[in-house]
Structure 1
Amino acid sequence: MKKDTPKNRRDCIFKHIVHSYVETAEPVGSQALSKRFNLGLSPASIRNVMVELEELGLIAQPHTSAGRVPTERGYRYYVDSLMRPEPLAEREKGWIGRQMREARSMDSLVENVSKAVSKLTGNAAIIYIPHMRRVSFLNHLLEELVEAEKLNDFFEEDEEVFIEGAFRMLAQPEFRDAARMGRLLQAFDEKSPIVRILIRDLEEDGLHVHIGSENAPAKLEGVSLVVRDCTLGGHPIGGVAVLGPIRMPYARIISVVDYVADSVGRAMERF
């Protein structure tokens, strides 16, 4: 058990605020926290901690009489310092594996994977495979074409971006605003704002989380993007991503993206 220090108390209450707001999309008040969670603190004590969190810029009050909601800075602190990935259930892993095994071509694999990611996360899934038409061919040449210069000789210039499940994302309360929805639909239509972020992220291994205004194009402010590279034979071939509201269940989505990115490269070896 963690020592009861002011910082640990703030972190505990802040995590409950994040989890409650992610689940309900409603501002969180001290009374609700006191009733829902066994914090061992009175509503007055919780209010005092929430004042501290607000002074730190981690939460904000959207309306005069409302509770508090996490800020972009708060979500960044949560993801970097407090969040623990939520492991996938074995049945979910098995279902993902079946979706991949049922694919009979590279196209159908990408389609099945994107649909699976969207369904598991409740948001828009993005699969980015540059030069996808050559991936299957390259799979048979990787042992010989080990140098990047040689591999590049076989690359095509067109980029393959698959977006699935935008309707799930747009059904969430954040996108009831017509102007925000319009900007996001334009980004989906153009694809280039999303592709630029993916290309930049995939230059480095590992998982990347972009929150709100960290997404450079204005069209993508107000959303978060979780990106992870995938490889084939040790060579990067693209990435798996989820796009959703800033109020997304990061622990769940990061686990899904991580697992699928690790699995999809192995599945592509069949083609």
Structure 2
Amino acid sequence: MPSERRLQVLSAIVTDYVRTREPVGSRALTERYRLGVSPATIRNDMAALEDEGYIYQPHTSAGRVPTQKGYRLFVDEVARVKPLSAPEREAMTALLAGAVDLDQVVVRTVRVLAQLTGQLAVVEYPSLRRTALRHLELVALGPTRLLMVIVTDTGRVEQRTVTLAGSGPQVVGALDPLVLERLRLRLNAALVGRRAQEVVPVLTHLAEQAPDDERALLAAVIGELVAALRPDAEERLAVAGTANLARSTPDFSSLGPLLDAIEEQVVLLRLLSPETDDVPAGDGDPTGMRVSIGSENHDDVLAEASVVTAGYGVGQGQVLARLGVIGPTRMDYPATMTVVRAVARYLSRFMAGPAG
């Protein structure tokens, strides 16, 4: 671990390089930062940081540039998450004011993240698998089709079309309005307040006890409901700020593969995976904020990118989904971490509701 003074030198190099995109020399550090030591001492500290792999010289006679290892040390030991500035807080409040449901708040949130950080922003909708059922609606669309609307306690609404197998009087009878209403009441009574892992045993019991005129309909509804709640069910994402990433082209040797991967969303889902959501966050931070840099993303298309993510939920340390930003490793980490954490906390308050 470098000394405190060398950490200050590294911090100055990172800060200057993020701002200018130009290699940083000892003269610039002496002129722009009050490090309290002579230029010769700064040169010695820079040489030591280079020997330890925290900075490097891109070409002869140039200044120094942070390495991935240098950014990692900066984030872990130097960067500090601070409160939002007054203009940032005003901008976030203005953009998010008036959102009344989950879809509105997610769409506005991803725009806020992109605007305040200048990066590509991603917000994951609360997973159906981690939330509880608030209401289940069944609406007939025809003799063999109906619409199932799943509403969770987080406000997420998921719609599924249910198609009954077969044809004939049995199917038509199954969609009789009285039978449909009876089944809707039965399902809500049994499932409201239950989480995904509790649903299958309850549905199995209902199927075993179902009267003959409900069996075909119930079997079809169960099939779609289980599919919506299965562990590998596709999650929903909101994305904004792709143009921000495109403007970072000089920081990437090839931006095309990353943009392609983002469009497919597979990479985004992996970045937001809940691998550490059940682990208490460090420093008392309930959002469990994570920063991954370059190769730490374990994906070739993200080898030149940094990802800052945080979780949001309805209670202390209870993460239902994640949000975050993607940008170049030459990122303003303190500012980005501040915004990501603040927005995650706002979403958590929204999810908790007025009494939260």
Relative to the length of structure 1, the TM-score reads 0.86
Larger radius of gyration: 2
Counterpart position of 1:232: 314
- SS class of match (1:232): coil
Deviation at 1:202, TM superposition (A): 5.5
- SS class of match (2:58): coil
CA distance in 1, matches of 2:154, 2:73: 44
Segment drifting more, 78-87 vs 98-107: 98-107
Deviation at 1:270, TM superposition (A): 5.9
- SS class of match (2:320): strand
- The 8 Å contact of residues 227 and 240 in structure 1, kept in 2 or not, is answered as yes
Counterpart position of 2:245: 169
The gaps in structure 1 that reach 5 residues or longer are 1-5
Counterpart position of 1:139: 153
- Name the CA shift for 1:151/1:127 in 2 (closer, same or farther; >3 Å): farther
Q: Which amino acid aligns with 2:345?
A: D
CA distance in 2, matches of 1:230, 1:187: 24
- Name the CA shift for 1:104/1:158 in 2 (closer, same or farther; >3 Å): same
Counterpart position of 1:11: 7
- The 8 Å contact of residues 201 and 208 in structure 1, kept in 2 or not, is answered as no
- Name the CA shift for 1:241/1:194 in 2 (closer, same or farther; >3 Å): same
- The 8 Å contact of residues 201 and 227 in structure 1, kept in 2 or not, is answered as no
Segment drifting more, 260-269 vs 199-208: 199-208
Segment drifting more, 21-30 vs 42-51: 42-51
Counterpart position of 2:178: none
Q: Does 1:188 align with 2:276?
A: no
RMSD between superposed Cα atoms in Å: 2.8
Relative to the length of structure 2, the TM-score reads 0.67
CA distance in 1, matches of 2:6, 2:268: 35
- Name the CA shift for 1:164/1:202 in 2 (closer, same or farther; >3 Å): farther
Segment drifting more, 191-200 vs 96-105: 96-105
CA distance in 2, matches of 1:163, 1:195: 11
Aligned residue pair count: 262
Counterpart position of 2:73: 77
CA distance in 2, matches of 1:140, 1:213: 34
Deviation at 1:260, TM superposition (A): 0.8
- The 8 Å contact of residues 252 and 328 in structure 2, kept in 1 or not, is answered as no
Q: Which amino acid aligns with 1:61?
A: Q
- The 8 Å contact of residues 83 and 338 in structure 2, kept in 1 or not, is answered as yes
Counterpart of 1:213 (choices 295, 300, 316) is 295
- Name the CA shift for 1:175/1:46 in 2 (closer, same or farther; >3 Å): closer
CA distance in 1, matches of 2:50, 2:42: 12
Fraction of identical pairs, as percent: 34
CA distance in 1, matches of 2:300, 2:270: 13
Deviation at 1:147, TM superposition (A): 5.6
Counterpart of 2:271 (choices 178, 197, 201) is 197
Deviation at 1:252, TM superposition (A): 1.0
